[in-house]
Amino acid sequence: MFHHQLPVSEIAGHAHQRGCASAAGRWAGVLLPPLLLASGCCGLILSRPVCDPKPLLTLKLPARIETLAGLPRDGTSVENGINKRTGGPQPGRVKELFDLHDDFGGYNFTLYFDETAAKEGYEFENSFTLVPVFSETKADGAAFALLYVNKPRTDPEGGCKPYGYYSSGAHVRLRNLVVGFGTRHDQPISDALTKAARHLAEMLTQELAAKRE
């Protein structure tokens, strides 16, 4: 059974000027930087998001996901706990870190060595994402944080003018896996993120099924 936590405040409570603080977490520079980092000192333009997390929260998961080596990817930063750039161990108990961009959106996969580390990573993502969390839904071994829809703007030098698109994003934890994903769309209300979530569930279902064979 899902436990749905309602938003802490309404849209107006989050749409204030958020200052020039830099965005922490992997949204800042790895996954879709044009989508979620577009406001700076101009303030955020936020609206209510729409996404059905059920396909992800009802996945049949093993007690521990050992690897996602069979998933498609654009680039791999960490493999078997080793940072491929530095050659040393990756902090935070991260086992695999890679990203994927396809027709449904952008995905950043972080597989941890254990579920405790994954919970910490998931909470960190939710605490330091520039676009705030709208709501969270939890199930056994899983949690889904839905971010507000954001309409990105140019920087102050460009007059803080809104771009002609909207962005949606979410973080999901599935046992010892955390995935941040996002997409862009032309209208504030869109099913694009639901399609991205469904696509992610299908990819994981195929990958985990292959591991059981």
Rg (CA), the chain: 17
Q: How far apart are CA 129 and CA 26, in angstroms?
A: 8
Taking the CB of residue 100, how many other CB atoms lie within 10 A of it? 20
The predicted-structure confidence for 83-138, as pLDDT tens digits, reads as follows 999 999 999 999 999 999 999 999 999 999 999 999 999 999 999 998 999 999 99
How far is residue 86's CA from residue 83's CA, in Å, rounded to a whole number?
6
Q: Phi and psi (nearest 5°) for 125?
A: -55, -45
Give 127-144 pLDDT, tens digit per residue. Answer: 999 899 999 999 999 999
Q: Is 133 in contact with 140 (CB distance < 8 Å)? A: no
What is the tally of helices (H) and strands (E) in the chain? 5, 11
Residue 210's pLDDT is 78
Collect all residues with Cβ–Cβ distance below 8 Å to 56 and sequence separation of at least 6.
142, 144, 172, 174, 197, 200, 201, 204
- The H or E element containing residue 56 is helix 54-57
Q: Which segments of the chain have a pLDDT < 50?
A: 1-40
Q: In the numeric block, which tokens belong to residue 116? A: 């405790």
Q: Taking the CA of residue 26 as centre, how many other CA atoms within 13 Å lie in the half-sphere pointing to its CB?
A: 24
Per-domain residue ranges of the chain: 22-212
